[in-house]
Amino acid sequence: MFLTEAQSTLSGFFSEFGYLAPFTILLLCGFGLPIPEEVTMLGSGFLLYQERVEAVPIIAVCFVATLMGDSIPYFLGRKFGRKALRVRSVRRALNPARIRAMERRFKKGGLKTVFACRFIPGLRLPAWFTAGTLGMPYGRFLAMDGLGALIMTPFFVLLGRASGEKIAELEASVENLTQILGFLVVSIAAVVAIHFLVTRWVPGSSRSSQGGPAAACENPPGAPPTAPGGPTEPRPKGPPQSDPPDSEFDDGDRP
């Protein structure tokens, strides 16, 4: 009953916090929360189907929260620029290579890039950050982002409402499948945890200990240690031989 329990937990969360729940999730997306905004909007539409919220207020809440979340990476880039990428957590959320690619997009598309990235998951966070680093005026950024959100927000909320019955049927049909997937996830996690404990705490299982016996076989007891570059060849006896003349000079004459 994993899915049923998750549904009851989510419903209880929304019932307790009301409109604050989607507002918080969409706002946290501006901090890099790995949840697509479309999922939260569809979930808000499902709540609308269940008559837990009203249409106009929930659309307005999602719209405002989306713009506020988008403003977070914008002002981060506007205030700190590319220096913000020196922070490890920021660098994980904003790949420097993707930021460079986004800068080239902005140089070609300008404000159109803001509008286009509003509809492309995965590009929003680097796009808003890049808009700030390039010094795009906040009013223009907010206008283009708001125009895209004005189209996107009611579409996905109403889509979630229209798909509410199908979502409920799908939820009932995949209940057994969810139990199987949950068991597999727990099993895989247990195997990974056991492997980690064995390789970390059991002697001879870590990478560092694997090279020990091999290294011992290379130098048996009583044998002189081998040089780092391998065995050296014995030098021939007799007077040292002079090097042959370079090809740049004739008959060994040097200037």
- Could you read off the pLDDT of 24-68 as tens digits, one per residue? 999 999 888 888 899 889 888 888 888 888 999 999 999 999 999
- CA distance readout (Å), 25 to 54, 68, 73, 181, 203: 18, 11, 15, 26, 45
Percent of the chain exceeding pLDDT 70 equals 60
Average pLDDT over residues 90-116: 90
Percent of the chain exceeding pLDDT 90 equals 36
pLDDT higher than 50, residue 255: no
Q: Domain segments of the chain: what residues?
A: 9-162, 164-203
Q: Residue 11 — pLDDT band, cuts 50, 70, 90?
A: low
Q: What is the pLDDT of residue 71?
A: 96
CB distance 74 to 132 below 8 Å? yes
DSSP 210-253: HHHHHHHHHS-TTSPPPPTT-PPPPPPPSSPPPPPPPTTSSTT-
Winning range, highest mean pLDDT, from 5-9, 46-50, 113-117, 238-242 = 113-117
CB distance 133 to 81 below 8 Å? yes
Q: What is the pLDDT of residue 187?
A: 57
Amino acid sitting at position 175? E
Model confidence over 190-223: pLDDT tens digits?
667 665 665 665 555 444 444 544 444 455 555 5
Q: What is the pLDDT of residue 96?
A: 87
Computed over every residue of the chain, the mean pLDDT equals 76
Which own/partner contact pairs does 52-59 have at CB distance under 8 Å and 24+ positions apart?
52/11, 52/14, 52/15, 53/14, 53/18, 53/19, 55/157, 55/158, 55/161, 57/19, 58/19, 58/22, 58/157, 59/153, 59/154, 59/157
Q: pTM (2 decimals)?
A: 0.63
pLDDT higher than 50, residue 254: no
Q: What is the pLDDT of residue 173?
A: 61
